Amino acid sequence: HVSTGGWPFSTSAHGWPISDCTSEGLKGTIRLLSCECIKTLDPQPFTDQRLFDAANVILTLQNSDGGWATYENNRGFGFYEWMNPSEVFGDIMIDYSYVECSSASMTALAQFQERYPNHRTSEVKGAIARGVSFVKSIQRQDGSWYGSWAVCFQYATWFGVEAIRAGGLPRSDPSILKAVAFVLRSQNDNGGWGESYRSCVDKAYDGKEESCFGTGSSGVVQTSWALLTLMAAEVSKPNEVQAVERGMKFLMAMQQPDGDWDQEGITGVFNRSCGITYTAYRNVFPIWALGRYAEWKEHCQKA
């Protein structure tokens, strides 16, 4: 598969580009190129062609179902899992389309199109539109999405909402309203959200207190994801605003005097059953949510 212009999961020596790594790399580069300190550099660190190459990698990684997988295009069938030789990992026989990879690819293409509106315009628009159809097709009846790369439904629902918004759909779209309803229903009494890694294994939402790690069954990472979902949906109704405010108070109350947050339970996962502790999550996502909160407050005041 074409690799020129892509970003891998590791260093460039790894050489195997991934859809969401390429997408996040492209978005980060576009954001950097808008900074005044970068604009004044001569020569420019990134040529247009390098960004065109990155967009090409993303476009060519889209599957026939409209979604994006990780390393490669889908080239098999789900029944291959019957021959899975692993005693530990699930869903590993082929590369599936994921809501996370699809969302990252769609948001990257949307930002790329904003910067380069005349470059492969119809292809980019078509890819995003097919992506929206795919993301909508895998949304669950309760409004959530199943997450394959973190724990689990709160995480994936954030990606689902971001993907649909990247497709230009309004916050009143039924898929977004269902997602918001799911998040609101799962908020805990202390204002936070939590979820057990069993959600990944069982493919069913598990927010029960006895199964969660955190304070009052709430964790700062899942709380951040839930808040990012609500703010991406641009919620503005009184009960929705109250939910965001309660969640933010929980996040701030859990912050330590030195600015850090405690390491809580497992929030990362690979291949359905391999739990991973990403120590940066406890800082990255709360800070992200706090930053997005300022933008959301401005939106609410205008609504």
Active site amino acids:
20
Question: Residues 6 or more apart from 194 whose CB is under 8 A from it?
Answer: 188, 207, 209, 212, 213, 214, 217, 218, 219, 222, 223
Please, are residues 267 and 288 in contact by the beta-carbon 8 Å criterion? no
Q: Which of 105, 71, 77, 72 is nearest to 91 (CA)?
A: 77
Measured CA to CA, the distance from residue 282 to residue 267 in angstroms comes to: 9
Cβ-in-10-Å burial (0-12, 13-18, 19+) of 65 comes to middle
Measured CA to CA, the distance from residue 114 to residue 109 in angstroms comes to: 9
Measured CA to CA, the distance from residue 111 to residue 103 in angstroms comes to: 12
Measured CA to CA, the distance from residue 280 to residue 282 in angstroms comes to: 6
Q: Which of 171, 176, 161, 213 is nearest to 192 (CA)?
A: 213
Measured CA to CA, the distance from residue 99 to residue 105 in angstroms comes to: 10
